[in-house]
Chains A and B, each alone.
Chain A
């Protein structure tokens, strides 16, 4: 994997060149945010639910080894095979071995961000396993050979015409279809035979219940249930942070998840897997992949509370106008920007800057992760670790010097005002001024605040201060 920092700004530049895509993306995500707000307003207990969810998650994370062991013991008792994977490579090897032992060549799977993290599909392809994504959005992304651009709606950056073009190539449908219903039907018809003949099914897991050894999967399409109930072999890949202690805790999380994500009260399917089906076999792979290390990061461990609803992405003005792919990472948007650097600090060093720090992400987060504060803290860490682009570093350095010396600062402000009103554009707008790339510089003013203050207040304030000086 290349360590070259992701050029988020340049990728975003490319994304915003196309107005119809940009406009749809922005409006669609904002619509999801507004639907989430409507659900929030229906429930007077909303803030209490968030507080509960946050406390349950923080508690669980503080005792994660105990709860993992409890889950494992209960799951084993119910006939589930439990595996542990330190990283993506180990996870892929485990899945590959299970499939090989069953001589399974065709795997159907529902959406799982952890398998994206592990880059599992290419690994299994090399082993001769055909992997078919069954979630519509994820399938579109698989056929287009792209990462999901959003954790809930993976193909949200595409328009109907884009999907029609992709399906025409692989499903031989009419490339001029403009009715999403026809395309969704084409996916249903194409997926059915694959599902019926699959050797194995794979899902992720939204929640893991220690008390009962259950894992819970939430979907809308029913594709996870098809993937898990049609083939007799079911493998679930789950991050080790997904635990909750008690079944009764699920009430809090199910009430928050889909309302926060899409603004629907609940996902169409909420499925509880506690053991294999009759004649079937069930495996759970618990994946660490950096999570245990993140738990030890004082400022960032609470990012492990995340339930992957995507609300922070939908509300983020930067995400909405730059698209998920511009982050160049499995996780995009505000939550991606605070967890991606834990995977590769250099490569994702630019992402914590893809934010205005407006705090909207924190306000909508159903488990109360202080996302915007973590974005800010990451910037500090990255500066300390020298993971900062040259121009930005130099500008900050000069600004720091300037602001520390009032006389020089005032002189500089005056000079700036003069240059803003007199200098030609090519001097003012170039690579040394990245701020002015997509923005107009501020209008020059006739009088600086300091000048105004000296003229109007300083003189007016003097007589009142006079008796003091006489003493």
Chain B
């Protein structure tokens, strides 16, 4: 008995348009190749994210408390911030649900979109990036790539991570009468702290 797989592939082979008429175009790199921090920040703000700028003499922990004064549980996965909950306590995906602010480091950002990348390499557990109420993302200004073309061509993470998410601002919806609401089901705010 032939399997579904065989039958589908066989039907596709029988029905395929002539491959010679449809050659694969070379990889495209189009558009603005500006990878500046300024471009990244402008894009980030369009998507509803923001930059957390340190005040003079302020530590990252202090800046987080200033930005999120009501936060009770702050959980950091980076050495630059201490937080209030040791990250070792987050063991199951559900454990991340009690967190008010999560702190992580992104290996790179994309200037065109204001996107930051996170994968299992930056997260104690994948839900860490989504179940907390707010997220603070550390990003080195020299780890910006210009646009989506350069990102996919240059960053090895797209080919190595099992879970890789580009977050471009916080979660959002416009499903009720077209009103844009920032903070839908995932994080309510996303702040970038440049290092």
Instruction: Name A residues whose Cβ lies closer than 8 Å to a Cβ of B.
Output: 24, 28, 31, 43-45, 48-49, 52, 55-56, 58-59, 61-65, 68-69, 78, 84-86, 90, 134-137, 140, 153-156, 158-160, 163, 180-181, 183-184, 187-188, 191-192, 196, 211-212, 214, 220-223, 225-226, 228-232, 240, 245-252, 254-255, 262, 264-278, 286, 288, 292-293, 295-296, 301
> Across the two chains, which residue of chain B brings its CB closest to A282?
B162
Least distance between B115 CB and chain A CB atoms (Å): 6
Chain B residues with CB below 8 A from A240, complex form: 8, 12
Tell yes or no: B85 within 8 A of A by CB: no
Chain A residues with CB below 8 A from B171, complex form: 220-222, 268-269
Least distance between B136 CB and chain A CB atoms (Å): 16
Chain A residues with CB below 8 A from B70, complex form: none
Question: Per-residue 0/1 for B2-16: is the Cβ within 8 Å of any A Cβ (1 yes, 0 no)?
Answer: 011101110111111
Least distance between A186 CB and chain B CB atoms (Å): 10
Given A62-B22, A84-B3, A245-B24, residue A43 in contact with residue B177 (CB < 8 A): no
* Supplied contacts A45-B31, A52-B30, A268-B169, 13 more A-B pairs, CB within 8 Å: A31-B178, A64-B16, A222-B187, A228-B163, A255-B147, A265-B47, A266-B115, A268-B167, A270-B168, A271-B166, A272-B163, A273-B162, A295-B12
Given A62-B18, A247-B152, residue A223 in contact with residue B185 (CB < 8 A): yes
Given A85-B4, A226-B130, A226-B186, residue A278 in contact with residue B166 (CB < 8 A): no
Q: Are B176 and A269 in contact (CB under 8 A)?
A: no
Q: Are A251 and B16 in contact (CB under 8 A)?
A: no
Q: Are B130 and A159 in contact (CB under 8 A)?
A: no
5 residue pairs bridging A and B, Cβ less than 8 Å apart: A184-B184, A229-B93, A270-B166, A277-B162, A293-B15
Chain A residues with CB below 8 A from B77, complex form: none
Q: Pick from B93, B176, B185: contact of A183, CB below 8 A.
A: B176
Q: Pick from B115, B158, B181: contact of A272, CB below 8 A.
A: B158
Least distance between A56 CB and chain B CB atoms (Å): 6
Q: Are B166 and A266 in contact (CB under 8 A)?
A: yes
Q: Are A59 and B185 in contact (CB under 8 A)?
A: no
Given A248-B152, A249-B27, A292-B12, residue A188 in contact with residue B184 (CB < 8 A): yes
Tell yes or no: B109 within 8 A of A by CB: no
Most buried by B among A58, A62, A68: A62
In the complex, the number of residue pairs spanning A and B with C-beta atoms less than 8 Å apart equals 270
Q: Pick from B97, B152, B162: contact of A192, CB below 8 A.
A: B97
Chain A residues with CB below 8 A from B162, complex form: 78, 273-277
Q: Are A62 and B159 in contact (CB under 8 A)?
A: no
Bound-state CA distance A270–B167 (Å) is 7
Chain B residues with CB below 8 A from A69, complex form: 9
Bound-state CA distance A255–B148 (Å) is 7
> Across the two chains, which residue of chain B brings its CB closest to A302?
B17
Tell yes or no: B36 within 8 A of A by CB: no
Q: Pick from B150, B153, B165: contact of A269, CB below 8 A.
A: B165
Least distance between B76 CB and chain A CB atoms (Å): 19
Given A226-B127, A249-B27, A295-B15, residue A155 in contact with residue B8 (CB < 8 A): no
Tell yes or no: B71 within 8 A of A by CB: no
Bound-state CA distance A62–B166 (Å) is 30
Top 3 A-B pairs ranked by shortest CB distance?
A222-B186, A296-B15, A137-B175
Instruction: Name B residues whose Cβ lies closer than 8 Å to a Cβ of A.
Output: 3-5, 7-9, 11-19, 21-25, 27-31, 43, 46-48, 93-94, 97, 112-113, 115, 120, 125-127, 129-131, 147-153, 158-159, 161-179, 181, 183-187
Q: Are A251 and B158 in contact (CB under 8 A)?
A: no
Q: Are B43 and A265 in contact (CB under 8 A)?
A: yes
Bound-state CA distance A63–B22 (Å) is 9
Chain B residues with CB below 8 A from A295, complex form: 11-12, 15-17
Q: Pick from A64, A156, A191, A231: contact of B12, CB below 8 A.
A: A64
Q: Pick from B19, B94, B151, B179: contact of A62, CB below 8 A.
A: B19
Bound-state CA distance A210–B170 (Å) is 30
Bound-state CA distance A277–B119 (Å) is 10
Most buried by A among B21, B28, B129: B28
Q: Are B16 and A62 in contact (CB under 8 A)?
A: yes
Given A55-B22, A251-B28, residue A28 in contact with residue B178 (CB < 8 A): yes
Bound-state CA distance A196–B93 (Å) is 8
Least distance between B118 CB and chain A CB atoms (Å): 10
Q: Are A230 and B165 in contact (CB under 8 A)?
A: no
Bound-state CA distance A49–B126 (Å) is 33
Bound-state CA distance A44–B179 (Å) is 29
Given A240-B8, A254-B148, A266-B113, residue A247 in contact with residue B158 (CB < 8 A): yes
Chain B residues with CB below 8 A from A163, complex form: 176-177
Q: Are A84 and B5 in contact (CB under 8 A)?
A: yes
Q: Are B165 and A225 in contact (CB under 8 A)?
A: yes
Chain B residues with CB below 8 A from A156, complex form: 175, 178
Bound-state CA distance A295–B21 (Å) is 15
Q: Pick from A43, A181, A222, A255: contact of B130, CB below 8 A.
A: A222
Chain A residues with CB below 8 A from B31, complex form: 43-45, 255
Q: Are A272 and B93 in contact (CB under 8 A)?
A: no
> Across the two chains, which residue of chain B brings its CB closest to A222?
B186
Q: Are A226 and B131 in contact (CB under 8 A)?
A: yes
